[in-house]
Structure 1
């Protein structure tokens, strides 16, 4: 069942993200925005935050190198998804989405930077904790504005 959910989510995300941007798709801006951010949040929570909290990034942990590389790749994917969500918001006529674009540049750059560090074998717990705090803050700001963001399970190629 879980595999089917992931495949369905992946197919939906691919279909929504590959559609050309035009006025006919303006109705789907909020959906696309939430799907891209949900995929980014899932990648961060599933491949970075959970392994970090479980001690899989700690020196001497079994499979540490593989976990760090997976975490770095997941954050590269997440940064891309946040950038796509930002483009959707900037190009949207929705005042809500345009209001939410401010924090997305920060999230994307943090994810890229931390992802590069992880792929290089370096873990900075303070950076991971700050990114977690920033994603939670953005989620609560978004929910307060009327747009809830939830993790969207997607398959990340190679992970």
Structure 2
């Protein structure tokens, strides 16, 4: 467990230090891509998909309004992170990232749209299910391009 935290911390440190120094053909494109996309998926999964599946967005659920607002803000953050990941992929010289670039624009736009609806208190269950389907499709596209995405649970202290 300590080794995992050390590796994760080192990866984050390298990404934070390297990001301002990078050019369009950055050395750490894949690392930056994964960090941004991972943050987006975590926000969507933790504050949108799970609460939706648990019925926290349903009419009459305790804390429904707060959960909808949190979900909307999480999707706005996720859309931003997907957009950043898309820019990294678009500007990268990596053939893998260039293959994955196309699917991210739609995902970012859809996250922004659904996030705005949630912040406004409007929930269409089909929107959340559609986003889940889109994230699964992106995972399938990544596997087809030669890089399967594995969900690796990492404990984050304090969360």
Report the TM-score range of the alignment, normalised by the length of the smaller protein. Answer: 0.7 to 0.9
1:12 corresponds to: 12
- Consecutive unaligned residues of structure 1, counting only runs of 5 or more, are none
Check 1:138–1:34 CA distance in 2 against 1; reply closer, same or farther (3 A cut).
same
Q: Which runs of 4+ in 1 moved over 6 A?
A: 152-155
Pairing of 1:131-150 with structure 2 (within 5 A): 131-150=131-150
Residues 42-75 of structure 1: per-residue CA shift (max 9 Å, x gap): 1101000000000000011000011001000000
2:116 corresponds to: 116
Check 1:46–1:16 CA distance in 2 against 1; reply closer, same or farther (3 A cut).
farther
Pairing of 1:31-42 with structure 2 (within 5 A): 31-42=31-42
CA shift for structure 1 position 145 = 1.4
The root-mean-square deviation of aligned C-alpha atoms, in Å, is 2.7
SS where residue 19 of structure 1 aligns? helix
Distance in structure 2 (CA, Å) of the matches to 1:138 and 1:114: 18
Check 1:62–1:17 CA distance in 2 against 1; reply closer, same or farther (3 A cut).
farther
CA shift for structure 1 position 139 = 1.0
Distance in structure 1 (CA, Å) of the matches to 2:143 and 2:47: 24
1:46 corresponds to: 46
Residues 73-105 of structure 1: per-residue CA shift (max 9 Å, x gap): 000000000000000001100111111111111
Could you state the TM-score of these two structures normalised by the residue count of structure 1? 0.83
- With CA pairs under 8 Å and 6+ residues apart, which has the higher RCO, 1 or 2? 1
Say whether residues 1:88 and 2:88 are aligned partners: yes
Could you state the TM-score of these two structures normalised by the residue count of structure 2? 0.83
Is contact 1:39-1:154 (8 Å) kept? no
Structure number with larger C-alpha Rg:
2
Aligned residue pair count: 150
Is contact 1:71-1:119 (8 Å) kept? yes
CA shift for structure 1 position 151 = 5.6
